Amino acid sequence: MARYLITGVAGFIGSSLAHHVLQQGHEVIGIDNLVGGDVHNLDDIIRDIDFRVIDINETLRLRECCRGVDYVLHQAALASVPRSIREPQVTHVANVDGTLSVLIAARDAGVKRVVYAASSSAYGDKSSHPKNEDMIPSPLSPYAAQKLAGEYYVKSFWHVYGLEGVCLRYFNVFGPRQGSDSPYSGVIAKFASEILKGNTPLIFGDGNQSRDFTYIDNVVSANMLACMAPAQDVSGRVFNVGTGQSHSLNQTYELMAHYLSFKKAPLYTAPRLGDVLHSEADLTLSRKTLGYEPLHSFKDGLAKTVGWFLEQEASAITKSTQYRMVG
């Protein structure tokens, strides 16, 4: 049995990792400052993990959390391009200073390996597709620059201190537990939420921009593979995590509307600053070195996600009815 520290454990990806790591019989220490995370994501496992409300920039407390830990899965971040444009200093503190804080604490505590949640936004709008790890990064937003800076810190800590570190560039992750209430929510969660409310979803731009939408189970699998791969093969390196296929926002909306029997066309507005037009992962290196293979296709994952949102809506209606009956 290994001991894992998951930062951002109350978030969408962090909580999914916590559930999986527990199912594998390992010990989980989970930390979150609950700024973006939702503790209800942990309701069914909260008694089975060591959960602590801590900000990753609280150096002394973080170092204590790292004591005796084998693997750190660093997911904590303010993960939003628009917010990074609006508040670059705030997001820098969380995304760059926070990552440095995690690496220092892991180094000082003798952690074996850190797996870092990097971002495909580091590629920018390269004209060639798909995006491979040898491409020179070209970040278009403060968020992309911040996540790229985190990669360089992970690499440097491997070369200078011998702290094993693997960077996983996530491509537009979606799935159950993804929040939909924030203006910074992922587009699939936002589409689902608005459609179920009977509202017409908004698309920034013409909807022809494309993304390699990646179901959460694929990301969980990649993290576990990154923990187990030989250090000489993966430490200080970057790997794409996606499906290797892209879909436009218009295609995505049409499919979701079909699943939910929603007839209205989306509304379109001006493109957002910092948004990438097209994104698709080249999985050659991830397959060869990590043994990564997407467990779920885009359509399979989307159907599962829509099903989850429908279950949440049904549950909310049931609870509301029970409350009215009791009251």
CB 127 within 8 A of CB 276: no
Is 143 annotated as catalytic?
yes
Residue 146 to residue 84: CA distance in whole angstroms: 9
Pairing of strands 113-119, 164-170: parallel
Tell me 265's DSSP state. Answer: P
CB 14 within 8 A of CB 8: yes
HSE of 38 in the Cβ direction (CA atoms, 13 Å)? 14
Place of tokens 């959390």: 65
CB 101 within 8 A of CB 74: no
Look at residues 117, 121, 127, 120 and name the one whose alpha carbon lies nearest to residue 81.
121
Contacts of residue 307, Cβ cutoff 8 Å, sequence gap at least 6: none
Place of tokens 């892991």: 106
SS3 75: coil
User: Residue 306 to residues 191, 217, 268, 290: CA-CA distances in angstroms?
Assistant: 10, 15, 22, 30
Residue in 4, 71, 123, 143 annotated catalytic: 143
Enzyme catalytic residues: 143
